[in-house]
């Protein structure tokens, strides 16, 4: 423990750019936001006992909208600490107290809880955030160049990656060793040949190369086993970055569990070499400003305007100079009196063309690049004249305040986030004591993950019998209690995805068609003729149908429940009248071999369908005509 504490202490004092953490915050917020939009669209399917007919939680859309606002705050970095706390609570509540956990597991919900937990203690407000801008605006007479580049402890990068990715990968790799197709190097190949699991992209050109697929499969195993030990090594970091990004980008593109792929992919912004952020910044930042803006240095509004523009000028193409100090050095401004110069915002471009007022703002937008559309719109007839009128109303009535000693006071500390309180204040006051406490927390998290891995990855896999041993029973109960806490609040769970116990016997899939107004049979926009789940029925809807409703051993009660939900939901969406509607249930055989088979995906696609029963809705009441034992068909 002493060596680990010493290592934590040394990393605690190592300062690195915070660019990656700001980008991670943005991407995490966007992934959360897209999932909220998905939940809103499928809210009746997921949360209603009978979609559109029996609405049990009518306020769910309202809370999803509130959650969406919180996620938007995370994206833009506004009220960061409060936003990540609320987001963390929303994830826990929706995952644990709604049907999301039982029937519509998204495959990445617990991972997002884990990432959200670490965001509580990360300095996500230091870059690309409105909070950072608000901090600057609180001292308007501090020149924008006075704000040094933000740096943070390297632990803000290493801890989330080590725990959220490293421990997850190691746990997943242990589970994979018990799956025959993974031991055969076909762990990535098998799910990609199953119609229910593939995206709209046809990856057959890669799937039909046995050597490539086995290389990918074994590379994943080695990658996951070694990641926790080697990802921070300076010479290996880029290799792990590229392999990991390739792995999760492949999941996002080839499988229809894209939220899982994107959720994992965003963590690789934290694995980017720190020198890479510096080189990227040097590459995108302009070597010389292409527009120089002159402003009234003694005007609070002008200073705040400069700070705001500079904050959003990510390419640093705009330079700002005091009109009082520098105007006399430019011949184009010499003819303008000081009083006139201070009533407007003047600017000179690289060709020495002079602009003022609204034209200055228009040039700022044009020169920034990514605000080019706003600059073009601002110059349109009618809009331009309206903007000039509003500008004059503000510019001519603004108050000018002579700067005092209070204006030039040192800038206020960064917003009081948990990271600032713990990793900067507490760590600065008592670094050794803080590093010891942090070490104990890291060890505790490791024990929680180890408990999950041993419980599910070893005891469950080896089918250890503890029923006749009092000590073992007590330990098992304690393990279950720890699992409940760690899974609920930290997202620590077994990562046994797509293993042999999932695909063994997975030799039949089910689809649904319906009779239209003319009595013709049409495919419901859910599963198509190939057997693929159509967009947008991906993510957690895919999980409901492919992992719960249709399994190697189909349970009729469970299947009927989800047939009811799917037909009620999509029947309403496509305009069917559930007072009198008929759906046809189809089944076809597929194969999920543990050995490589050429063109297995298209073999499964081309397998013929057979009708196994019907489902009828009469006056919003469903009736089934299905075989008693579907598995025997």
Strand partners, 586: 511, 611
In this predicted model, which residue has the larger pLDDT, 298 or 78? 78
Residue 617 has pLDDT above 60, yes or no: yes
Residue 245 has pLDDT above 70, yes or no: yes
Residue 399 has pLDDT above 70, yes or no: no
Measure the CA–CA gap between 477 and 444, rounded to whole angstroms: 18
Residue 104 has pLDDT above 80, yes or no: yes
In this predicted model, which residue has the larger pLDDT, 5 or 471? 5
Would you call 320 helix, strand, or coil by DSSP?
Answer: strand
Strand partners, 355: 347
Residue 45 has pLDDT above 70, yes or no: yes
Domains of the chain, first to last: 19-149 (no CATH), 286-395 (3.40.30), 505-632 (no CATH)
Residue 411, pLDDT score: 47
Residue 611 backbone phi and psi in degrees, to 5: -80, 130
Measure the CA–CA gap between 312 and 633, rounded to whole angstroms: 63
What pLDDT, in 10s, does the model give residues 128-171? 999 999 888 887 777 766 666 788 999 999 999 999 999 999 99
Start-to-end CA span in the chain (Å): 59
Residues 74 and 87: beta-carbon distance below 8 Å: yes
Residue 398: Cβ-neighbour burial (10 angstroms; 0-12, 13-18, 19+): middle
Residue 407, pLDDT score: 47
In this predicted model, which residue has the larger pLDDT, 400 or 374? 374
- Nearest by Cα to 110 from 543, 497, 541, 488: 488
Confidence bin at 406 (pLDDT 50/70/90): very low
Residue 410 has pLDDT above 50, yes or no: no
Average pLDDT over residues 399-405: 48
Residues 109 and 100: beta-carbon distance below 8 Å: yes
Measure the CA–CA gap between 94 and 540, rounded to whole angstroms: 13
What pLDDT, in 10s, does the model give residues 536-582? 999 999 999 999 999 998 999 999 999 999 999 999 999 999 999 99
Residue 74, pLDDT score: 98
Quote the tokens at residue 419: 């990271």
Name which of 69-73, 231-235, 302-306, 331-335 the model is least confident about. 331-335
Measure the CA–CA gap between 318 and 308, rounded to whole angstroms: 12
Which pTM value belongs to this model? 0.92
Residue 43 has pLDDT above 70, yes or no: yes
In this predicted model, which residue has the larger pLDDT, 332 or 591? 591
Q: Mean pLDDT across the chain, nearest whole number?
A: 89
Residue 405, pLDDT score: 44
Residue 402 has pLDDT above 60, yes or no: no
Alpha-carbon Rg for the chain, nearest whole angstrom, is 30
CA 168 to chain centre: 17
Q: In percent, how much of the chain has pLDDT > 70?
A: 94
What pLDDT, in 10s, does the model give residues 186-241? 999 999 999 999 999 999 999 999 999 999 999 999 999 999 999 999 899 999 99
What pLDDT, in 10s, does the model give residues 367-386? 998 999 999 999 999 999 99
Quote the tokens at residue 267: 């963590």
CA 174 to chain centre: 26
Average pLDDT over residues 271-283: 84
Residue 22, pLDDT score: 94
Average pLDDT over residues 98-109: 85
Strand partners, 164: none
Measure the CA–CA gap between 601 and 597, rounded to whole angstroms: 9
**What's the Cα-to-Cα distance from 247 to each of 220, 227, 242, rounded to whole Å?**
8, 13, 8
Instruction: Examine residue 479 and say whether the peptide bond preceding it is cis (omega within 30 degrees of 0).
Output: no
Average pLDDT over residues 331-343: 75
Confidence bin at 451 (pLDDT 50/70/90): confident
Residue 62 has pLDDT above 90, yes or no: yes
Measure the CA–CA gap between 306 and 143, rounded to whole angstroms: 9
Measure the CA–CA gap between 323 and 329, rounded to whole angstroms: 10
Residue 518, pLDDT score: 86
Average pLDDT over residues 26-31: 97
Quote the tokens at residue 298: 């003694």
Residue 467, pLDDT score: 63
In this predicted model, which residue has the larger pLDDT, 602 or 500? 602
Contacts of 31 (CB under 8 A, 6+ apart): 112, 259, 262, 263, 266
Contacts of 236 (CB under 8 A, 6+ apart): 230
Q: In percent, how much of the chain has pLDDT > 90?
A: 62
């Amino acid at each position: 423990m002493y060596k680990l504490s010493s290592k934590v202490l040394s990393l605690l004092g190592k300062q690195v750019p915070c660019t990656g953490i700001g980008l991670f915050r943005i991407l995490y917020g966007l992934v959360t936001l897209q999932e909220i939009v998905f939940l809103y669209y499928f809210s009746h399917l997921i949360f209603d006992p009978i979609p559109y007919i029996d609405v049990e939680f009518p306020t769910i859309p309202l809370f999803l909208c509130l959650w969406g606002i919180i996620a938007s705050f995370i994206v833009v970095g506004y009220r960061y600490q409060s936003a990540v706390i609320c987001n963390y609570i929303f994830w826990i509540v929706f995952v644990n107290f709604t049907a999301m956990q039982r029937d519509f597991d998204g495959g990445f919900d617990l991972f997002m809880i884990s990432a959200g937990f670490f965001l509580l203690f990360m300095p996500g407000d230091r870059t690309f955030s409105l909070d950072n801008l608000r901090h600057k605006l609180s001292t308007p007479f501090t020149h924008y160049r006075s704000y040094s580049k933000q740096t943070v402890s390297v632990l803000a990068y290493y801890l989330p990656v080590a725990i959220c990715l490293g421990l997850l990968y190691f746990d997943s790799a242990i589970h994979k060793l018990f799956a025959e197709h993974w031991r055969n190097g076909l762990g990535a190949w098998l799910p990609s040949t199953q119609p229910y699991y593939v995206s709209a992209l046809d990856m057959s050109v890669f799937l039909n190369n046995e050597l490539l697929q086995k290389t990918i499969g074994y590379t994943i195993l080695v990658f996951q086993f070694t990641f926790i030990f080697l990802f921070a090594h300076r010479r290996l970091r880029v290799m792990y970055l590229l392999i990991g990004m390739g792995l999760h980008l492949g999941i996002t593109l080839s499988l229809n569990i894209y939220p899982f792929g994107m959720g994992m992919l965003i963590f690789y912004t934290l694995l980017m070499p720190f020198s890479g952020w510096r080189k990227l910044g040097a590459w995108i930042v302009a070597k010389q400003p292409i527009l120089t803006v002159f402003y009234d240095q003694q005007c609070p509004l002008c200073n705040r305007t400069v700070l705001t523009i500079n904050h959003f000028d990510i390419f640093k193409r705009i330079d700002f100079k005091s009109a009082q100090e520098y105007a006399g050095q430019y011949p184009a401004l010499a003819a303008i009196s000081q009083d006139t110069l201070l009533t407007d915002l003047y600017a000179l471009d690289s060709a020495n063309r002079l602009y003022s007022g609204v034209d200055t703002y228009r040039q700022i937008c044009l020169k920034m690049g990514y605000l080019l559309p706003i600059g073009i719109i601002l110059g349109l007839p009618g809009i331009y004249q309206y903007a000039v009128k509003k500008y004059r109303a503000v510019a001519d009535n603004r108050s000018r305040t002579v700067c005092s000693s209070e204006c030039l006071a040192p800038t206020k500390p960064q917003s009081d986030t948990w990271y600032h309180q713990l990793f900067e204040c507490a760590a600065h006051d008592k670094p050794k004591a803080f590093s010891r406490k942090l070490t104990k927390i890291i060890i505790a998290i490791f024990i929680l993950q180890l408990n999950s891995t041993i419980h599910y990855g070893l005891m469950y896999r080896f089918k250890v019998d503890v029923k006749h041993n009092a000590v073992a029973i007590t330990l098992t109960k304690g393990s279950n209690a720890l699992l409940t806490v760690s899974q609920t609040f930290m997202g620590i769970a077994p990562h046994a995805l797509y293993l042999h116990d999932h695909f063994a016997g997975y030799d039949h899939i089910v689809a649904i068609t319906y009779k239209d107004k003319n009595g013709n049979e049409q495919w419901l926009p859910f599963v198509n003729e190939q057997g693929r789940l159509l967009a947008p029925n991906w993510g957690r809807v895919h999980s409901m149908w492919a992992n719960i409703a249709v399994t190697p051993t189909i349970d009729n009660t469970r299947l009927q429940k989800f047939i009811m939900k799917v037909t009620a939901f999509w029947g309403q969406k496509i305009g069917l009248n559930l007072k009198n509607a008929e759906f046809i249930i189809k089944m076809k055989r597929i194969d999920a071999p543990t050995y490589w088979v050429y063109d297995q995906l298209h073999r499964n696609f081309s397998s013929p369908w057979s009708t196994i029963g019907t489902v009828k809705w009469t006056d919003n009441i469903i009736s089934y005509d299905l075989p008693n034992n579907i598995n025997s068909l």
